[in-house]
Amino acid sequence: MALALLAGGASCARPAPHPGAEPTAGAPPPGAPRGRDGHGGGSAGGARDGGRGRDAPARGAVALGAPAAPDGGQPAPRWVGALPAAESEWCRPHLRALDDETCVVVPDAESTELLVHLHGIVPPAGASAVQANLQRVVSSAALRAGVTAVLPRGVQGLAPRGHDGWWGWPTSARAYDRHGAALVERLVEVRARLERLRGSPFRRAYVVGSSSGAYFVALLAWRGALAADGWGALSGGGVVSGAAASGARAPFYLGYGDRDSVGASVRALGAALGREGFPIELAAHPTGHGVREAYLDEALRFFRSKAR
């Protein structure tokens, strides 16, 4: 497997500015649905094959680990190593920790699916309500779906003006060009370390981001620098221009609140992805900005429905 990033890459316009941090409360705003019960409308668009080799990863794309084992193989063995209980300021006590920067959710039963969740901006020091809500939501959704989840911490300083020192992800073409390669290598290494612990590769891997993380996910999918079995942009995602990189078009879920200022940008991203042949599901919910269990529930169902 080549670990070189896609040389050059397709052009990508600077995404629209995203709003601030995730809501600081542990629940949605008043009147909004709580957890996974807030389901809204949505639409789906099918993939199109334009003869550009879309059934294979983009040339130079980094896969999130070893290729999947063929169907009908033996069940994956149980973990061969134990992850320690979380002790870092980034990971909440109910999670496991791969290292000080990476939290892990391990379901009760053996899982062959991996969910990588990229957070929205979080405060610079110590535990916070933003961090607690994020990790609670992702943990609940992952355990309910029976998938292993990882929550890596982003880069300090990649946040909007007025949030100096906060943790975030590249949300513009310029920031992506500066930080993208190193972050892709880090995500690949995270998966490889987990697979060494469990003794076998994950069969499928999904990359989902919320707010700041959603903009980075859009850039990753558009540039074709990382191979994944599903993409998700929650409460965010920048408008892109030009042709996306050639290669596989994994299903892309987009979820947002109808009271969120990023709604127009998310819808525009969905339209652009659809034109480029990505199978999409676009879902609006009666809520505001932030990560929601309902989004993750829908995204995982969508990815599984499109599995080959």
pLDDT tier, 150 (very low <50, low <70, confident <90, very high otherwise): very high
| Average of per-residue pLDDT across 137-158 | 95
Four-residue CA torsion sign, 46, 231, 175, 166: positive
Say whether pLDDT at 36 is over 50.
no
Judge whether 213 and 118 are in contact, CB under 8 Å: yes
Residue 275 has pLDDT above 80, yes or no: yes
Q: How far is the C-alpha of 171 from the C-alpha of 29, rounded, in Å?
A: 25
What are the pLDDT digits (tens) for 215-256? 999 999 999 989 999 999 999 998 776 678 888 899 999 999
* Closest-CA residue to 19 (of 216, 208, 160, 175): 160
- Report whether 291 contacts 298 (CB < 8 A): no
DSSP state at residue 85: B
- Name the pTM for this structure: 0.77
- Residues 100 and 188 sit within 8 Å (Cβ to Cβ): no
pLDDT average, residue stretch 107-112: 88
Three-state secondary structure along 135-192? HHHHHHHHHHHCCEEEEECCEECCCCCCCCCCEECCCCHHHHHHHHHHHHHHHHHHHH
268: left (phi over 0), alpha (psi -120 to 50) or beta: alpha
Looking at the DSSP assignment, which residues form a beta bridge with residue 282? 43, 254
Q: Average of pLDDT values for 182-195?
A: 96
**Which CATH number does 40-46+59-65+82-305 carry?**
3.40.50.1820
* The pLDDT of residue 29: 37
* 232, amino acid identity: G
According to the model, what pLDDT value does residue 89 have?
82
CA dist 144 and 138 (Å) reads 10
Q: Which two tokens stand for residue 286?
A: 């009666």
Q: Work out the pLDDT band at 61, boundaries 50, 70, 90.
A: low
3-state secondary structure 103-138: EEECCCCCCCEEEEEECCCECCCCCCHHHHHHHHHH
